[in-house]
Structure 1
Amino acid sequence: MAGAMALVLFFSIFTSMGTAHAQVDLNVHASGAILVDGKTGRVLYDQNADTLHGIASMTKMLTEYMLLDDIKKGKVSWDQTYTVDDLVYKISQDPSLSNVPLRQGGQYTVKELYQAMAIYSADAAAIALAEIMGGSETNFVKMMNAEAQKLGLKHYKFVNSTGLNNADYKGMQPVVGGPTDENVMSARDVATLAFCLINDFPEILKTSSIPTLTFAAGTKDQIVMKNWNWMLPSLIYAYPGMDGLKTGTTDFAGYCFTGTASRNGIRFITVVQNATDASGKGGYKARFAETRKMLNYAFSNYSKVQMVPKHYQIKGDETVPVSNGSSNQVPVYTKSALSMVVQSGEKKDFKPVLVLDKSKVDSSGKLIAPIKKGEKIGYLTFVSKSGQSISYLTPQGQKKAEVDVVAAQDDNKANWFIMIMRGIGGFFSNT
């Protein structure tokens, strides 16, 4: 038990270093790249993942997250209307940007603007939503940076809600940052944002998976929005199970893509920043080819495996010492089974560890009686037998790779007679 407690103190700490399994060299042609399990956020592959790079329109994932959060909280509604101001109108009419045409003084619903942003990466629509949520885009950018910190991101800087270069605004708004600044993030933080977005608001995938949609249908501004994610199953670089999430392209950021695909109950998230082909040339095809490379590796080498069954007992920790209980020990087991996405043959590299709830134990590490059958006394997690760290994007995701451990029977507080007899026994033992 002492050995398990020592492991508890070390491995219950959130880690963000290498993986438990030796990382394969995928030779991804990108300035930054990462591959993670979509359920737990466990990092399966990373390449230069903590360096700041441009993110272009992948920025809009944070705008989406904040909008969906405001809708959930009742601050904004889908049928709420927005009246187009001068800035949004002028940006929407710029043919060099990604946009749907918005009429000056025209009114559009939040849902219309959201769909234009999520499917067609419409820049003016993103600014409009920023104004709805923040009063002005400048104020909203401050909110974005605060939200990024709240989500646990570590390497980022947001200067606008769109991912454009500040120069693209042509002086039409008070600039946050320098006149030619762009938003930057690390690949790990982009993946963390995507992980939070699809786990906190899975409904985003219903929109991001739409291949084409008509904006302003029935009006003279009608336009067919074709999703920039060309890996959706019906588009040119179709990939089975692909349903999100966001592309991004600027001269500064290069060709970027945050992708996610699900098959047979397993989801993966990928990020590539400044993707190129083998010759170093960037392009639309390159970002999808490098994404395909990571997803093919993931789906070919990883599967969902039951790590422990229901009522599993850890060898050496089948019972836990109890302080002042009617018994000195109480048997414990897992409340339910636990399955994880692991590489072929990797299960044997993991070791189960019991982590006791600090509020349930005394200073000596013993459970405090009384204890009821089925009461949670801690959780089971896994560590690498080799001692390598297991990396997760967020502590919340890591909890999905844990299972509750409960008492297998009652252990009432010892009565006075038992306490006296133990005292006598202890006395003679010492003598």
Structure 2
Amino acid sequence: MKKSSKMYIAICLSVLMLVSLFQLPNRALAADPLNINADAAILVEASTGKILYAKNEDTALGIASMTKMMTEYLMFEAIHDKKISWDQEHTISEFVHDVSVDTRLSNVPLEVGQNYTIRELYEAMAIFSANGATIAIAEAIAGSESAFVKMMNDKAKELGLDNYHFVNSTGLNNSDLQGKHPEGTGADEENVMSARSTAKLAMRIMEDFPEVLETTSVPKKDFRNLEGQMKNWNLMLPSLEYEYPGVDGLKTGTTNFAGRCFTGTAKRGDFRVITVVMNAKDENGNSSDRGRFGETKKMLDYAFSNFSMKEIIPKDYAIEGHKSLKVTKGKEKSVQIRTKDPLHVIVKNGQEESFTPAFTVDEKKVSKDGEIKAPIKKDEQVGVLTVVQEDQEDYGYVEKEYTPSVKVVTVDKVEKANWFVLMMRGVGGFFSDIWGSVTETVKGWF
């Protein structure tokens, strides 16, 4: 190959690389603002699912006892549907007993043949991450842990989670279950999920069953005649080693496979955020509580110091260039339109002016020419208004397709014109067209 040809190819490749680089989204070009020391992490505003920070958020990784959030969700749902009750008693099987007295695992000891209420078992699971108690809850709901695992995977699909796989109710490695792992799963299988899906699950359990926080926020609690108290593994709760203002949940997780993980949530005023760290490490690269709670603190500080919910579009906002719609076959020839409610979005400090309104009409009601047919009701929806943030780093939302929007509605009703009015308009239009043609012809003479 000639030297000139080689140089030409090299130049072309360089140009292609530069073009592809500049076509990358803003996030890919931006520096990591937090450098969270974890295999994956995500920071989310809880009411909208707005992602404030993310790292490897769609990679399926070990979740250890964060698995128990799904068990909790199914338990609350079963209680809501009256399939079980808080006071219902469950008799402890030999298998559950064997797991519950395994000192290698987080547990409260449960006696064979003894009855425990669902509430007792739930508190042991939510506060102390008790694995035997968790399996007992799964058995109470589904009859067996194997059947419960199917429910877990089915519910994950129903909730719209991605990149997940559940093999037991606890988050333990199946090998810890001494050959009695759920039927249909492998002896060395692990529960895995992405940080995004973990955050989405946390959002849903707090949205659908907010009472979960009444228990996850408890630092310590007695369990029957157990010597000492169950201490919450979430050490960011008030009075514990890494306490942080506003933290009230949700679930830690630790195994050799998953490392130290934590799904946290904290609230200040009306602003609540959710954090997830997976296989978090401290500044020395060690898997430790200082790592998972320290990295979580970095995300919480970042959220509360830099973000807030702002009203970007007020109620009754008249959209520039779209303040009214033409009306066909109506008593009036146009109708004004406005936003039905204010539009609130999560805004980073100093970026309040970076949002531009974007109006989308309802194509089933509004024609391509921007006309709507009478009769029209007052407050009839004719479209939605969203906002676009230009030239800003954006991680999107937990729900990938979600866009915050507000309804755009008609200000007044417009009744359909009667046949006589419509006929006269048609006649007027006919003569207007004739007069227009005559005028143009006469102009041509001169």
Q: Residue 106 in 1 paired to residue 109 in 2?
A: no
Matches within 5 A, 1:57-136: 57-136=65-144
Choose the corresponding residue for 2:407, options 404, 408, 427. 404
1:157 aligns with 2:126: no
Q: Is the 8 A contact 1:19 1:43 kept in 2?
A: no
1:210 aligns with 2:218: yes
- Correspondence for 2:207 among 199, 204, 218: 199
Percent identity of the aligned residues? Answer: 50
Stretches of structure 2 that go unaligned for 5 or more consecutive residues are 1-24, 435-446
Residues 27-81 of structure 1, C-alpha deviations (whole Å, 9 max, x = no match): 0000000111111001111101111110000000111111111211222211111
Kindly provide the CA deviation profile for residues 113-145 of structure 1, in whole angstroms up to 9, marking residues without a partner as x.
111111111111111111112111001101111
Gaps of 5+ in 1: 1-16
Q: Which residue pairs with 2:64 in the alignment?
A: 56
Cα deviations by residue, 1:222-260 (Å, 9 ceiling, x for unpaired): 551111110112211011111111100000000000011
Amino acid at match of 1:130: A
Query: In the alignment, which of 235, 247, 251 is matched to residue 246 of structure 1?
Result: 251
Matched, 1:258 2:263: yes
- Pick from 381, 385, 390 the counterpart of residue 386 of structure 2: 381
Give the alignment partner of residue 147 of structure 1, picking from 131, 144, 155: 155
Contact residue 244 and residue 259 of structure 1 kept, 8 A? yes
Q: Which amino acid aligns with 1:279?
A: N
Q: 2:295 aligns with which of 284, 290, 294?
A: 290
8 Å contact from structure 1 (residues 55, 253) kept in 2: yes
**Largest Rg, 1 or 2:** 2
Q: Secondary structure at the match of 1:206?
A: helix
2:175, 2:181 within 8 Å by CA — same for their partners in 1? no
What's 2:427 paired with?
424
Aligned partners of 2:421, 2:389: CA distance in 1, in Å?
A: 42
Q: Kindly indicate whether the alpha-carbon contact (under 8 Å) linking 1:98 and 1:123 is maintained by their aligned counterparts in 2.
A: yes
Q: 1:256 aligns to what SS in structure 2?
A: strand
Considering only aligned residues, what root-mean-square deviation do their CA atoms show, in Å?
2.4
Amino acid at match of 1:122: A
Give the secondary structure class of the aligned counterpart of 1:277. coil
What is the TM-score normalised by the length of structure 1? 0.89
Relative distance call for 1:228 and 1:392 in structure 2 (3 A) is same
SS of equivalent residue, structure 2 residue 254: strand
Cα contact 1:335–1:406 (8 A) shared by 2: yes
Q: For the residues of structure 1 that align with 2:29 and 2:414, how far apart are their CA atoms?
A: 40
- In structure 2, the CA distance between the partners of 1:110 and 1:357, relative to structure 1 (3 Å rule), is farther
Distance 2:209 2:27 in 1: 27
Alignment match, 1:316: 321
**Aligned residues of 2:174 and 2:181 also touching (Cα < 8 A):** no
Assess if the C-alpha contact under 8 Å between 2:97 and 2:111 holds in 1. Answer: yes
CA contact 2:92–2:111 (8 Å) conserved in 1: yes
Would you say the 8 A contact 1:231–1:288 is kept in 2? yes
Equivalent position SS for 1:307? strand
Q: 1:129 to 1:330 in 2, by over 3 A?
A: same
| 2:186 pairs with 1:178 | yes
SS at match of 1:305: strand
SS of equivalent to 1:406: strand
Report deviation, 1:295. 0.8
Task: Using structure 2 for the length normalisation, give the TM-score.
Answer: 0.86
How far has the Cα of 1:424 moved from its partner?
Answer: 3.1
Report the 3-state secondary structure (helix = DSSP H, G, I; strand = E; otherwise coil) of the residue aligned with 2:336: strand
User: Which fold has the larger relative contact order, with Cα–Cα distance below 8 Å and residues 6 or more apart in sequence?
Assistant: 1
Cα 1:150–1:237 shift into 2, 3 Å: same
Partner of 2:340: 335
Secondary structure of 1:215's aligned partner? coil
**Taking structure 1 as reference, are residues 366 and 151 closer, same or farther at Cα in structure 2, changes over 3 Å only?**
farther
C-alpha contact 1:164 1:250 (8 A) present in aligned 2:
yes
User: How far off its partner does 1:285 sit?
Assistant: 1.1
Structure 2: distance between partners of 1:181 and 1:428? 81
